[in-house]
A and B are shown apart, each in its own frame.
Chain A
């Protein structure tokens, strides 16, 4: 089986990179090259199954009871494998050059080992069909990404971020274990194919909630998102791209895979998923707006996009339970399509942010500016990503949001209140998210890449090397291509959607593909008009004077780049009106003299989920545990005494 070969190549190249850890060049070549080779091999079976090939499975006995070593590539798995392999390969090429920056201070072989293991474990998560195997892969994925987040572990904030990630991800896994046990107890086996339709109603709902918390923590839905804004900025950029682009999608995969085990869900599941999605989407983009750190901003945008994906799934669930196939299909297809689209543009944006960081040595948005002149390729690629993530035509982000919108509107205009109300809420939520995302990315792109450099570091920035630029160019081209080819991609997803919903989605998706075709016509019209207008302007300007001058400064003769509008001031109206949720802290220091020489203004937005939910809970746990500290002095004599007492008690109890 080709997939196993791919996993083998990945693991072997990882070990190879580890063996030669003291030769940075060699280990990078082995690590990156092995990843590309493994991904190239692995993508073949995935593509084959997606193109309508037969489901491939492999089953053999193993020593673990209640089940077998069972892996399978069905359309749903293949659909998630595709971005795993594509983005991993591109990020590996990028990482090859990115990590060279650390070649004197870090052991790159170790980083490459964990990178290849992470890729292999993500692929295994998508194909595992046995609960034990799934959880093993899930845990390897968590651990390898933990070590990658802790790459720069000499920094205190990186250590903090990686521990938060470690704790959060295991809290999620703690919910998955009982869920699989309930399934296993009811089905009599831990193989996924026995799980289907095995659970009666109250148990099914309990399992669904557990899955939502467990997988939702990995996906980063609010309020379980706290690790995301910590871990993503801390990791090296190509790892952030991988984590944000695909690793969090394994949470979505888990939820969707669970859905295939249930019968037609009750209506409140859809309500719940839709509500979680809307809240995650709106709050995610609001917190993103309040960020000063470029990668922190992107991390919160992952929360937002996971919210959009969840909204799609929620719309699909509502349509499914209400018995409206077209709503179910459109919502589900939109959500799943957004998984792929988000992997592309978020991967692209994180790689771009990494290039900016290496060129200007800061991620602070307010210290950057004017980079598009110094880094034209990175700038252009980041721009494509920004348009795509804002959900604007003609790029891919718009298409998946369009499907979710269309599904919601379909239901909202034809169904009764219990279905129409949540769906119209989804429409309003998506519209608000779209507007705010556009605000956020005009800020991110405009302040970082446009205007004049705000610091000497930004002024001295240089374009990244070709191995870092090429993956970004490919991803940008992918965003454009998917944006234009939606009309053939969406009908091809019918196998995936059908396998989730259990009824044929082909006809509905073909109709939807027709609508996307009309969008493509509109996009082509747009491009033609742009070309035509460019020619018109050239014609109008020919023979006339085209001058260049400074920006109009309202008569003030000595403006400095620091007087430009900053990211904080750009977002201030929005963060102010939503301060109820954001609770931005402001610190203003004005000098008291008549001729003020200096003043300082600082804003800081802490994560509400972390401050209001996690911190109190963990403080409580800490207090409870502190009471047991009396028992633990670190004194050996006491411990020996404990052992003796325990033995005595046991002895007495036995003699009784």
Chain B
């Protein structure tokens, strides 16, 4: 089982940027375009790694620490998420809290790096990021608590392995976590990740001044964050294949993740970005769904 845990890390490290490629391809198909190559995110990261960097004279060591700590925190989060019966390398009782707070640490550094530039545009993105994530946090933890109540365990590894996709509260939890997923990864309807300017108001704004390897770290970290949050959702849906079916489980995980990316692509193609004042309402709705699910689970 231990190899299976490490297998998930390898899968995440290798395939995380592909999710972005799939989303973009789906959007292109919807728009009737050919679209960028599926592997474009990999090319982007590779290109950034091979470039020099420009640092603003306003910035301090925090600006340089931001991308590194962000990526490191995402990697630790990856070591906490299991998929399909495998135990994650760092699993322990209560690891779902460390998982949520590692993502919080990543956000904390990204926000401070944005504020370090002294640009009001990046400050604006930072302000929205902390606001929305403060509202998304309760929804995430309430959702996971509901699943924990169904399964009677507080470790992500056991929790995801023991769920069955058949109960009504799980559907509610999935809806809540889906909203959190879109918000945390700055996708439509919360944020439009298409450009760096004007349309994009949250995540891409904050990283405007990063360049070269730093920007590559940020892109890779963002892809990993999408991967870990996505694999929690996929892990809740997918049934577990008992025994030592490493290959089968890996294929199932990949299939699930790609399907999730397709769904996100469809959402992005068919919806518009919400007005900013509507965003908190959607997040509170997610929290309410999760709370309702918890109440249902007390039957």
Q: Which residues of A approach B to under 8 Å, CB–CB?
A: 369-370, 372-373, 379, 383, 387, 390-393, 398, 402, 405-406, 409-410, 412-414, 416-417, 420-421, 424, 427-428, 431-432, 434-436, 438-439, 442-443, 445-447, 450-452, 514-515, 518-519, 521-522, 525-526, 529-530, 533-534, 536-537, 540-541, 544-554, 561, 563-565, 569-574, 577
CB atoms of A564 and B120 under 8 A apart: yes
Chain A residues with Cβ below 8 Å from B101 are 391-393, 398, 434
Distance of A379 Cα from B134 Cα, bound (Å): 25
Chain A residues with Cβ below 8 Å from B75 are 525, 529
In the complex, the number of residue pairs spanning A and B with C-beta atoms less than 8 Å apart equals 249
CB atoms of B49 and A540 under 8 A apart: yes
* Chain B contact residues: helix, strand, loop or mixed: helix
Chain B residues with Cβ below 8 Å from A434 are 101, 104, 137
CB atoms of A550 and B57 under 8 A apart: yes
Q: Which of A373, A537, A561 contacts B68 (CB 8 A)?
A: A537
Say yes or no: is B190 at the interface (Cβ < 8 Å to chain A): no
CB atoms of A552 and B287 under 8 A apart: no
CB atoms of A446 and B126 under 8 A apart: yes
Q: Which of A447, A515, A522, A564 contacts B119 (CB 8 A)?
A: A564
Say yes or no: is B162 at the interface (Cβ < 8 Å to chain A): no
Given A529-B76, A545-B52, the answer on whether A577 and B115 have CB atoms closer than 8 Å is no
Q: Which of A431, A442, A447 contacts B137 (CB 8 A)?
A: A431
Contacts A551-B56, A551-B118, A552-B117 supplied; 18 other A-B pairs, CB < 8 Å? A372-B61, A402-B97, A412-B294, A413-B145, A428-B287, A431-B100, A431-B137, A438-B130, A438-B133, A442-B108, A452-B118, A525-B75, A530-B65, A547-B52, A547-B55, A548-B57, A549-B56, A565-B122
Q: Find the B residue at minimum CB distance from A285.
A: B134
How far does the Cβ of A448 sit from chain B's closest Cβ, in whole Å? 10
Query: Which one of B94, B102, B112 has the highest number of Cβ atoms from chain A below 10 Å of its Cβ?
Result: B94
How far does the Cβ of B53 sit from chain A's closest Cβ, in whole Å? 5
CB atoms of B145 and A533 under 8 A apart: no
Chain B residues with Cβ below 8 Å from A561 are 118
Q: Which of A432, A446, A563 contacts B116 (CB 8 A)?
A: A446
CB atoms of A412 and B51 under 8 A apart: no
How far does the Cβ of A271 sit from chain B's closest Cβ, in whole Å? 17
Q: Find the B residue at minimum CB distance from A454.
A: B118
Distance of A554 Cα from B111 Cα, bound (Å): 19
Say yes or no: is B240 at the interface (Cβ < 8 Å to chain A): no
Query: Which one of B62, B118, B197 has the highest number of Cβ atoms from chain A below 10 Å of its Cβ?
Result: B118
Chain A residues with Cβ below 8 Å from B149 are 412-414, 420
CB atoms of A435 and B208 under 8 A apart: no
Given A393-B102, A428-B138, A432-B134, the answer on whether A571 and B127 have CB atoms closer than 8 Å is yes
Distance of A472 Cα from B107 Cα, bound (Å): 26
Q: Find the B residue at minimum CB distance from A425.
A: B291
Chain B residues with Cβ below 8 Å from A450 are 60, 62, 112, 115-116, 118
Chain B residues with Cβ below 8 Å from A392 are 101, 104-105, 108
Q: Which of B62, B100, B140 contacts A383 (CB 8 A)?
A: B62
Chain B residues with Cβ below 8 Å from A563 are 120
Q: Which of B93, B134, B152 contacts A515 (CB 8 A)?
A: B93
Q: Which of A445, A515, A526, A577 contacts B280 (CB 8 A)?
A: A577
Say yes or no: is B234 at the interface (Cβ < 8 Å to chain A): no
Q: Which of A435, A522, A548 contacts B133 (CB 8 A)?
A: A435
Say yes or no: is B266 at the interface (Cβ < 8 Å to chain A): no
Chain B residues with Cβ below 8 Å from A410 are 154
Q: Which of B49, B73, B127, B145 contacts A409 (CB 8 A)?
A: B145
Q: Find the A residue at minimum CB distance from B80.
A: A522
Chain B residues with Cβ below 8 Å from A405 are 94, 97
Distance of A565 Cα from B127 Cα, bound (Å): 9
Chain A residues with Cβ below 8 Å from B294 are 412, 424
Query: Could you tell me how many residues of chain B have their Cβ less than 8 Å away from some Cβ of chain A?
Result: 82
Given A450-B115, A451-B116, A570-B127, the answer on whether A541 and B79 have CB atoms closer than 8 Å is no
Say yes or no: is B72 at the interface (Cβ < 8 Å to chain A): yes
Chain B residues with Cβ below 8 Å from A393 are 98, 101-102, 105
Chain B residues with Cβ below 8 Å from A435 are 104, 130, 133-138
Distance of A390 Cα from B116 Cα, bound (Å): 19
Distance of A387 Cα from B102 Cα, bound (Å): 12
Q: Which residues of B approach A to under 8 Å, CB–CB?
A: 49-62, 65, 68-69, 71-73, 75-76, 79-80, 90, 92-95, 97-98, 100-102, 104-105, 107-108, 111-112, 115-124, 126-128, 130-131, 133-138, 140-142, 145, 148-149, 152, 154, 197, 208-209, 212-214, 217, 276, 280, 287, 291, 294, 298
Chain A residues with Cβ below 8 Å from B79 are 522, 525
Query: Which one of B69, B80, B127, B276 has the highest number of Cβ atoms from chain A below 10 Å of its Cβ?
Result: B127
Query: Which one of B117, B140, B145 has the highest number of Cβ atoms from chain A below 10 Å of its Cβ?
Result: B145
Chain A residues with Cβ below 8 Å from B140 are 431
How far does the Cβ of A483 sit from chain B's closest Cβ, in whole Å? 12
Q: Find the A residue at minimum CB distance from B125.
A: A565
CB atoms of A552 and B107 under 8 A apart: no
The 8 A-B residue pairs whose C-beta atoms are closest, nearest first, are A565-B123, A435-B134, A446-B115, A451-B118, A518-B92, A529-B72, A439-B130, A544-B52
CB atoms of B62 and A372 under 8 A apart: yes
Distance of A335 Cα from B37 Cα, bound (Å): 53
Distance of A527 Cα from B223 Cα, bound (Å): 21
Distance of A514 Cα from B68 Cα, bound (Å): 28
CB atoms of B58 and A451 under 8 A apart: yes
Distance of A347 Cα from B112 Cα, bound (Å): 22
How far does the Cβ of A593 sit from chain B's closest Cβ, in whole Å? 25
Distance of A369 Cα from B58 Cα, bound (Å): 11
Q: Find the B residue at minimum CB distance from A561.
A: B118
CB atoms of B154 and A409 under 8 A apart: yes
Distance of A235 Cα from B86 Cα, bound (Å): 56
Given A393-B105, A428-B141, A442-B112, the answer on whether A551 and B133 have CB atoms closer than 8 Å is no
CB atoms of A541 and B131 under 8 A apart: no
Distance of A541 Cα from B208 Cα, bound (Å): 19
How far does the Cβ of A129 sit from chain B's closest Cβ, in whole Å? 37
How far does the Cβ of A329 sit from chain B's closest Cβ, in whole Å? 14
Given A413-B148, A427-B141, A565-B127, the answer on whether A439 and B134 have CB atoms closer than 8 Å is yes
Chain B residues with Cβ below 8 Å from A550 are 56-58
Given A434-B137, A435-B133, the answer on whether A515 and B115 have CB atoms closer than 8 Å is no
CB atoms of B52 and A445 under 8 A apart: no
Given A447-B115, A522-B76, the answer on whether A431 and B138 have CB atoms closer than 8 Å is yes
How far does the Cβ of B290 sit from chain A's closest Cβ, in whole Å? 9
Show 13 A/B contacts (Cβ-Cβ < 8 Å), sorted by A: A370-B118, A383-B62, A390-B108, A435-B104, A435-B136, A442-B126, A518-B90, A519-B92, A522-B79, A541-B52, A545-B52, A552-B56, A552-B208
How far does the Cβ of B177 sit from chain A's closest Cβ, in whole Å? 14
CB atoms of A369 and B73 under 8 A apart: no
Distance of A111 Cα from B123 Cα, bound (Å): 42
Q: Find the B residue at minimum CB distance from A570.
A: B127
Q: Find the B residue at minimum CB distance from A406.
A: B94
CB atoms of A565 and B213 under 8 A apart: no
Given A435-B135, A522-B76, the answer on whether A533 and B58 have CB atoms closer than 8 Å is no
CB atoms of B108 and A544 under 8 A apart: no
